[in-house]
Each structure stands twice: as C-alpha cells, then as structure tokens.
Chains A and B, each alone.
Chain A
C-alpha cells in the first residue's frame, strides 16, 4: 500500500496560554494574564532554565494583546540577534514589550545603555514590560548598576521545573493539541530515552506525528520504538 504523504505543514505550536501546560506554574500564567489584561503588574521578570516554556509564555502574552487589538513586540536577545540597538527605537508606542533571554546583553555596554533608556521611557509611559532570563535578575552580570536595580523592581517569578509525571502529562497534552493520542507508557519511554527539555520533546512529537501520518498507524509503544530506531539509524 502506498504511503500517505503528509501535507507540507510543520506543526506551528501556537504559543498561546491555551497551548501551555502549566503544571506547577499556574500562578505564573495567572500573573501574566492579569498583566496583559491591565489588572496586574506592569513589569514581570520570568526566569527558569532553558526549555521550560519562557518563550512560549512571552509569545502567549503577545497573542493576548493582539486579541485585544493592542500593539505588542517580542524580541529574543540571543547573541545572534544583538545586531542593532535601534531595535528599541519607536517601541514606546507598544502597549507590551517582551524581551526574551535578557541575560545576553550583560557586559555589552551599548546594549545595556539602549535597554536602560528604553526601560525608563517604557516605565514613564506606564507601558508593560515582560522580561525573561535563565537566572534571577540579581545574578545577571550587568555593568550598569542603574539597570540592575531596575530589573529587580518588578514581580520576579521562577518557572518551576516539571516532575516526571508532570512532564509525561505535558507530552500527552501537547500530543492531544496536535491531534494524536500518546499513551502514558509512550510518554514515559520518551522521557527516559531522550532529552528531557520541553523544546527537544516537542520536536520529537513533530517527528512522531509525521511518521504516524505517513504509516497511517496509531502511536503504540512498539511503533514508537520502531520510528525512533529508524531515526537513530538515519542520524
């Protein structure tokens, strides 16, 4: 029988609050939702290790603002994106600005100063600002002391890492959003045999979804092992 060719459609994980599995982070979701609704904090600093959903939450906030007809801007401050400090120009007009991986500007005097000036304007205009980093604000080695105290000012929240059962539940939740069933035993298998950070696991779900569509088979544990074995051989 001919294999069914799936549409050339990569799963665009809609980074919305509805697509986020909160587990122990329900409080964080609630504060972010209140912030974008204009009934909560003006400044939130979100921190946690890589792959716990910080970028997802920041983009979910932008999605909410769009739904409300308000202007938002998201920027990932990874080293490859630190090309031009002019990125901060004109953002005073945005009701919400989300800056991801803020720790990467530490030690870069021009970026620290540009962000400091932007921060002051944003605060004076009472606009919302959500920042994220891999560590507490106090642990970011900023050279500008004025900036260091400012990022400590708002509400600082730590994303709690998932326990194993929560991580399996998150995988099942995500698979469901993608339109396929994943059993607890399959989730457990993925967790014990592959990278445990959420980003890698989501990518793995994409692979499984595609393979299951091509083979028109349900994702049973033996089939899952077969797909992943094939993939390892290909790698």
Chain B
C-alpha cells in the first residue's frame, strides 16, 4: 500500500528542490488503507509549512497514483510506537512500576578514569551508591562542561540498580523536568506529575543551572526536593558552577543544594587525559600506543568530549586507510585540529586562507587583475593583514604585488563600508577572522 506514497515521492522529488524535499517532504510518513492516505508530519511547524506550500502538489501526485476512494489526511504523528513518556500516562500504578530510568548502561564506574581532578567526586559518588539517602544527600557534583559529571551520574544509577534491581531511579536533565511540568499543567495531570517524581528511590538531575529564571519549575522542584529528602530518598544533582554562584535560582533552593555534599570535578591533568584516551580506545578494541595518547592529551587540554572527538577522528581514519596508529599517523589524521591550534597568523597564512576560502589562486591576490572576483578577496586579505599583523602598510602593500600604502588604506576603508552594507561580506570577513585567529 505504501508504494502509492513511494510513487508520489518519486514524482515530487522531481518537482521540488532537493533541499526543500529533504526538509518538508521526506520526513512525512504515510499510513495507507483503502479509504485514506494519512501523511504524518513530525511536528506542527512541518505540518503547517507543508499545508501552506505543498498541499496542491501532493494532492496532484496522490490523484495520479491512488484510487478515487482514497482521501488525503495530514496530521502530526509517527508510525513508530511511542516510548513511555509522561504525557501518555493513564494508569499511574502501572506506570510507576515501569518507570523508564533513562540510564545509559555504557557509563559505569569501571570505565570512569580516576585522576586527581575527580578523585573526591568519585569517592563520594561510590559512597552514595552504597548508602542510598544516608551518606550525602543531596550529592551535588559541579564543574565545567565536558568533564564527566553526566558519566558519573549514570554510573551511580547503574551501580545502584546492580545492587538493587527493584530500585526506582530516574535520570533526567533539568530541562526535561521543566517540559514535563509544562505538559502536565497543559493536560491537567499535575498530580500525576508530582507523584511521578516524588515517588522514586533515587532522582538524578543533570545541569540544574538550566532551572535559572524558571520560577514555577523551581517552586515545584523545591517541593519535590523536600519530599524526597524527608523520605530519605537519594537526590544527586550536577551543575556547571558551585551552587551559590548560579544566578537566577532562588536562594532557598541554592541553600538546599548545599545541604549535603557539593563536590567539584576539575579539568583532568595530562596523565589523566592520556589514561582516558587509552581507556576509551580499549573499549573500542583499539590498541592506542601510549605516546599517541600523550600526543593527543598534550594538544587537547580542554575537556573530555573534545579528547573523545579527536580519538574518534584517529580511529576512523585508521579504519578507513588500514594504517597503524603511530605518532606520525596521528599528527596527519589530526592535522586540521592540531595545526589550527599551533598556527601563527602571518601574511602568507592570511593570503593562503583567503585564497582557499574564495577559491582563487594565492598568486591572484598579488596580480594586476581588476575583476571583482579577485579584487574583493584581495581587499579582504589586505584588511585582515592590517588587523592581524603588525606589518606596516608599505610591507603589506609589498606582499600584494608591490602596491603602495594608499591602496591598503583604501582597501580597508572599502571593506569597512561593505561590512556594514553587505551581510555576505560581513559574514565572509568574520568567517576568515575566526579561521585565522582560533
């Protein structure tokens, strides 16, 4: 039956631009029976757009391939069976037994690499899993993004479940709490919402800084928090800052966040970063030489997600080329990432980057050509050279085919005017500036 829609798609694909087709038509799912062709859009936005812009085309296609009895219906929906979410809750008792915990089983204490930066947090987390609700309640783990707070939270949930499979645990991001509350209010199911979150053994809430400025959600979370604490059920929170430094959160809530144990996770030192890389590689069944791990760890000091991204690049490249992972290979595979970090801003580099960006030759920048496809990039390159290097106007002029200093001044003036009047040029300039300076 779906072949009707497949035929329609093949027809529409030739009538609508590829980009629009991928945005508005491809996501539609068809449910076809003898009487109807129901097209399901993923959301209201897509539905409205399709109705407004493509309904006639779709109807014409359907008339070509469907029978006269079949009528077209457009609505929001999915063919996929809907996972258990709060707004679908009808029978509370049944739902409480089957509460989805949203824990990611891949995050465990075993694959959490311990170093000086997270030792204390890990010890506290393990202690909490051994004495739920009794040792530190709430446990608040804080630190910058990408340092392993979420990993630790999932690891706690998984460890508790391992010891007590019947424990009711929920992991969620604070934003989901807010969304569920809004939905419950809209659907007059607020008491279900309250019971849902107040009747768990362990509540793990990630990124509480996103409660900032949401007063009604803070109010409800405050009551949930108190109820769980009174029952001696465990609460674990994470935040990107020490609780008192989070702005937009009520003081009474901030003070409660600090009742138990606030513990920080700091950025990992180089040895820990290398150990993290080795661990992640071994999970992926990849043998990562120690010197390679140290090379990546040295070059990427910022956070664990970025380290993981770099490791993915190395592994993917090795798998594609079939080459062994060595220091040389890694330097090559991460060339784009690493060279940008080491890069010096000089006039040669500016000319090369501008030429590559505008797809012209470096030599064109110094040529006598007065075609606009060459003059505009040349002016931008001159302007960038003036902004990013300490060279004199004469030196810059000399690097662009021996032009004199007034040409450079005029180029800078022209680009400055164009940046204000032409969005495309402003965007090109800012892209180039970003590429050169980061």
Contact = CB atoms under 8 A, between A and B. Distances in A.
Nearest to A100: B19
B26 A55 contact: no
Interface stretch (A143-151, A181-189, A211-219, A221-229): A143-151
A52 B17 CA distance: 18
Contacts, number: 155
A149 B303 contact: yes
B102 interface: yes
B194 to A, nearest CB: 22
Interface string A27-71: 100110000000001000000010100011011001101100001
B266 to A, nearest CB: 15
Contact of A161 (B78, B321, B356, B438): B356
Given A139-B435, A153-B309, A154-B309, A74 B145 contact: no
B104 interface: yes
A4 interface: no
Nearest to A201: B359
A3 interface: no
A58 B102 CA distance: 29
Interface string B373-409: 1000000000000000000000000000000000000
A87 B320 contact: no
A116 B434 CA distance: 23
A223 B125 CA distance: 75
B144 interface: yes
B126 interface: no
Contacts of B175: 113, 116-117, 120
A196 interface: yes
B432 to A, nearest CB: 10
Nearest to A69: B2
B163 interface: no
Contacts of B373: 195
A23 interface: no
Nearest to B373: A195
Nearest to A84: B45
Given A72-B26, A72-B27, A154-B312, A91 B43 contact: yes
B78 to A, nearest CB: 4
A91 B44 CA distance: 11
A89 B435 contact: no
Contact of B43 (A90, A137, A150): A90
A150 B240 CA distance: 14
Given A59-B22, A156-B313, A117 B434 contact: no
A235 interface: no
Interface residues of B, number: 55
Given A49-B356, A136-B337, A149 B45 contact: no
Contact of A153 (B78, B308, B340, B356): B308
Interface string B11-50: 0011001110111001101000000000000111110000
A76 B21 CA distance: 12
A12 B306 contact: no
Interface in B65-104: 76, 78, 80, 83, 102, 104
Interface centre among A73, A75, A90, A124 (most CB of B within 10 A): A90
B144 A145 contact: yes
A137 B313 CA distance: 14
Contacts of A120: 173, 175
Contact of B320 (A27, A59, A75, A124): A27
A77 B42 CA distance: 18
Interface in B305-321: 305-306, 308-309, 312-313, 316-317, 320-321
Given A71-B27, A72-B26, A15 B78 contact: no
Contact of A13 (B18, B27, B308, B340): B18
Nearest to A150: B305
Interface in A8-24: 9, 12-15
Contacts of B42: 71, 73, 90-91, 93-94
A155 B309 contact: yes
A74 B19 contact: yes
B146 interface: yes
A141 B14 CA distance: 38
Interface centre among B27, B146, B317 (most CB of A within 10 A): B27
B45 A197 contact: no
Interface of A: 9, 12-15, 27, 30-31, 41, 49, 51, 55-56, 58-59, 62-63, 65-66, 71-76, 84, 86-87, 89-91, 93-94, 98, 113, 116-117, 120, 124-125, 134-139, 141, 145-146, 148-150, 152-158, 161, 195-197
21 contacts: A12-B14, A14-B13, A15-B18, A15-B22, A30-B320, A41-B316, A71-B78, A86-B45, A89-B43, A90-B44, A94-B27, A113-B175, A135-B438, A136-B337, A136-B438, A138-B306, A146-B207, A149-B146, A152-B305, A153-B306, A196-B359
Given A89-B44, A195-B359, 19 more contacts: A9-B14, A41-B312, A41-B316, A49-B357, A71-B78, A74-B26, A87-B45, A90-B76, A98-B22, A117-B173, A117-B179, A120-B173, A145-B240, A149-B145, A149-B305, A153-B308, A153-B309, A155-B316, A157-B313
In order of increasing CB-CB distance, the 3 nearest A-B pairs are: A149-B146, A90-B43, A74-B22
Interface of B: 9, 13-14, 17-19, 21-23, 26-27, 29, 42-46, 76, 78, 80, 83, 102, 104, 144-146, 173, 175, 179, 207, 210, 240, 303, 305-306, 308-309, 312-313, 316-317, 320-321, 336-337, 340, 356-357, 359-360, 373, 431, 434-435, 438
